[in-house]
Structure 1
Amino acid sequence: MEQGFHSVKNEAIDKLSPTKVLSPQQNDLKQAIRAFCLAHRQDEHAVFLIEGDAGTGKSIVLNSIFNEIQSLSRQKEKKSPFYGMQNYLVVNHPEMMKLYKNISEQFSYLKKKDFERPTTFINRMRKAGKTADILFIDEAHLLLTRSDKYNHFEQDNHLEELIQLSRITVIVFDEKQVLKFKSCWNRELLQKLVGSYPVQTYHLTQQFRVQAHADVQDWISAFCHKIIQPMPAKQTFDFRFFDDAQSLYDFLCSRNAEYGLSRMLATYDYPYRLDGQDHFIQEGRFYLRWDRSKPDEKLPWAERPDTIDEVGSVYTVQGFDLNYVGLILGPSVLYDAATDGVRIDTRRYEDGAAFAGREGLADPEWVKEQIMLNAINVLMTRAVHGLYIYAHDPALRCKLMEIQAERNKVKGGRIAASRV
């Protein structure tokens, strides 16, 4: 593993460790889930919903309470109301699944079979005629909202099936991280599926990943609503724009050498196929391959040292922290002179699988744009200590460099004034 001042504390396996100390708000949520599970353990079905923006620690709390309940369920003596319960955790994300299974190796009360992908879990439980006592679902916004026979899911909705297969369902959900037509979640659909059961909702608000002032988080949020705000003030969080992708990458590599866990990411605007071949992103002098598909690798992509030589997609980094991120906004992300903001060209998006299965969508073009903006939000909220951005579109690149120059000019003027 890479060495550096920040690298150890940001390893995902440590971040999600059940021994991690929780914040007061996170601990309050954990106790609320515990109380809910006890209060509804005789119900036919009940749902606890965890919400919050990226980086608020939803998965940390989920894994912490799952580990506590699993430990209590497998005690040698019957001292807990959780004793003997059959509980599972599912996540529809292969990189996150690697992480959970790696964590399971550290604790004797956990088994690898406690963690499954949702389709595998549904098919296995249906075939065996069994149900779970408590089912924990991470990244529920990645669950399928339609059948996917190619991947052996023949029912209509993952979440609907999972609730039916569990007495109590604990769900992590963020509709701003929906990335595909076949996982096209919104508030109305979620409420329709859970509204007939006892439901408790808890919304986490404290940001733990992006160690920046509120103006950086506000800038990212505005950009993902197609608004370009003035450049945030200089601060400990290193936020800057580059007019050359290779210069960005060179700088990121120096950060990686010093601190570790620094990676290049890009919007899905460059061709990529799962054909066993390397596929490259080129921006001027910059020429680097997309992330290689290695499902048999034990470590997730974000934590393998060799991936400093690759560009990650939204699918490889969703749910993970990085110390520093270099982000390429590809050809689909454009400057709109009429609004002085952002324009999204859905025709330039290369992720064809994201837009497969438009049946039943009232406004597919609007959903396409929202999916692409969601992806940008995910990519921009991976960095703990610094975010560096390069834009393919010359007009957008010019606009970003302009607001950066204005910020630097204002800062320089203030310094000069203080010396008078």
Structure 2
Amino acid sequence: MANNAATTKLAPNQHKLSPEQQALVQRIMQFTQHHLPGSTPAIFTINGDCGTGKSVILSQLFYELQQAAHNEHSQFSGTKNYFLVNHPEVLKVYKQMAGPEQNVLKKNFLRPTSFINQLHKRHERADVVVIDEAHLLLSQPDHYNNFYGDNQLTEILKLSRVVICVFDFHQVIQTKNYWDQEMLSQIVAPYPHAEYDLTHQFRMTAGPELIHWMDAFSAGELLPLPVNTRQNYDFRIYADAESMRQAIVQRNREVGLSRIVATTGYPSTLDGGKHYIHETGGFHMPWDQYNYTQTPWAEIPETINEVGSIYTCQGFDLNYVGLILSPLLYLDPAEHRIKVDLSKKTNNEMIKRRTDVTDPAQFTRMKHQIILNSVNVLLKRGIHGAYLYAHDPELRKALLQSYHSLN
């Protein structure tokens, strides 16, 4: 597969939108046209799980907005529009896309903090703001990212006439970005608001029964694998991590864009050095390194020799993904449920304390949910296949028993 696979996926007109997607783009355009003249900001939210085409819709929508903004006969003529995403690797993809597309410029694409600070400094208000991966917006102050407000969506609404954003609460993977439906509903309540739920799976060729199994697994429930698990989808469970790595390397040789990823729970520090994951079968690979290039991590050929994390893989399509479940995740034999052992955490940034959550039990549930969300995100990266290995012996044994029962 070509190295610009992710860019091609998001480029407008590269893939024909489904009738539902086309209708949604037009509905949002009408919503935007209706609310642009108003003095009160309006917000349109799209809800959808991994692979339901959210980013493709936003990409096409923004392309059409920008064409209309440069058409003197359009009601959008002269509008100043921005596309925001709080994920540096995904932002690289959008900036790559901007070059060849007429009237879609690199400067239109920003991180949310950059947008907020720039418009405050210029005392300006944007017309239309499109936000991909809105579940990654900061929902508390974060001095490391130069954000000193209480909530990025609240600040963006103050600086915009119309906001269009996508949310997937199953992709919330840090406490500083924590979102749930109640929090979102409270923020949008004062504004004109419309929403739409996407349910059709576009990324994965897996059947609905296997996707349901993955959703249950990511919620801590270990169901028997469905009998049609491998129909139109290459799903495998491995007894050792090295065999899985070798299979992913082979898939990468055959079709490209296949990578090993892992959940947090192995030592890693952004200190410029390599930090290795050691697992069964002689598995020995370093975590992904900080990517200083303009090419997304997943599209760099050499990263077949690294283990991807939630930070480098969220929002990306892979052809095949090999997922290592770290020591944080284990099977409770008494309840036959997948649980999280926070004593084995290695990423403190992922579950930093929130001052607005004072109930210790509530905060513990939040942290557990965030770890399980990362499983959901990583497990669903593969378009054509997902391979799975669990560090915990009991969980690995249960997965293998279920898998072998299919044969």
8 Å CA contact retained: 1:288, 1:309: yes
- DSSP 3-state at the match of 1:171: strand
Give the Cα separation in 1 of the matches to 2:189 and 2:29: 21
Which residue of the partner structure matches residue 171 of structure 2?
Answer: 177
Matched, 1:347 2:382: no
Paired letter, 2:156: L
Matches within 5 A, 1:137-152: 137-152=131-146
Which residue of the partner structure matches residue 18 of structure 2?
Answer: 23
Matched, 1:333 2:329: yes
Note the alpha carbon deviations across 1:36-57, whole angstroms, 9 max, x for none.
Answer: 0111111221000011111000
Which residue of the partner structure matches residue 401 of structure 2?
Answer: 402
Which residue of the partner structure matches residue 203 of structure 2?
Answer: 209
Give the Cα separation in 2 of the matches to 1:108 and 1:222: 43
Note the alpha carbon deviations across 1:218-252, whole angstroms, 9 max, x for none.
Answer: 11011012111112323120111000100110111
Matches within 5 A, 1:361-372: 361=357, 362=359, 363-372=362-371
Paired letter, 1:106: P
Which residue of the partner structure matches residue 63 of structure 1?
Answer: 59
Paired letter, 1:406: S
Paired letter, 2:290: S
8 Å CA contact retained: 2:119, 2:159: yes
After the TM superposition, which of the residue ranges 353-362 and 331-340 deviates more from structure 2?
353-362
Consecutive unaligned residues of structure 2, counting only runs of 5 or more, are none
- DSSP 3-state at the match of 1:407: coil
Which residue of the partner structure matches residue 108 of structure 2?
Answer: 114
After the TM superposition, which of the residue ranges 355-364 and 53-62 deviates more from structure 2?
355-364
Which residue of the partner structure matches residue 414 of structure 1?
Answer: none
Match of 2:231 among 229, 235, 251: 235
Paired letter, 2:283: F
Give the Cα separation in 2 of the matches to 1:376 and 1:397: 15
8 Å CA contact retained: 2:3, 2:300: no
Give the Cα separation in 1 of the matches to 2:144 and 2:49: 32
Match of 2:283 among 286, 291, 295: 286
Give the Cα separation in 2 of the matches to 1:12 and 1:340: 38
8 Å CA contact retained: 1:9, 1:15: no
Match of 1:127 among 117, 121, 125: 121
Match of 2:28 among 27, 33, 39: 33
Give the Cα separation in 2 of the matches to 1:14 and 1:204: 22
Cα deviation, residue 85, structure 1? 0.2
Paired letter, 2:74: S
Note the alpha carbon deviations across 1:344-393, whole angstroms, 9 max, x for none.
Answer: 11221211101123212131110000000110000011110011001001
Q: CA RMSD in A?
A: 1.2
Which residue of the partner structure matches residue 42 of structure 1?
Answer: 37
- DSSP 3-state at the match of 1:335: strand
8 Å CA contact retained: 2:278, 2:284: yes
- DSSP 3-state at the match of 1:134: strand
Cα deviation, residue 135, structure 1? 0.5
8 Å CA contact retained: 2:84, 2:132: yes
Give the Cα separation in 2 of the matches to 1:70 and 1:42: 18
Matched, 1:324 2:320: yes
Q: TM-score, normalised by structure 2?
A: 0.96
Paired letter, 1:27: Q
8 Å CA contact retained: 1:180, 1:355: yes
Which residue of the partner structure matches residue 305 of structure 2?
Answer: 309
8 Å CA contact retained: 1:230, 1:407: no
Which residue of the partner structure matches residue 250 of structure 1?
Answer: 246
Identity %: 44
Cα deviation, residue 9, structure 1? 10
Cα deviation, residue 8, structure 1? 4.6
Which residue of the partner structure matches residue 415 of structure 1?
Answer: none
Note the alpha carbon deviations across 1:124-150, whole angstroms, 9 max, x for none.
Answer: 100110010000011110011111122
Paired letter, 1:307: T
Cα deviation, residue 256, structure 1? 0.6
Matched, 1:54 2:53: no
Give the Cα separation in 1 of the matches to 2:343 and 2:131: 33
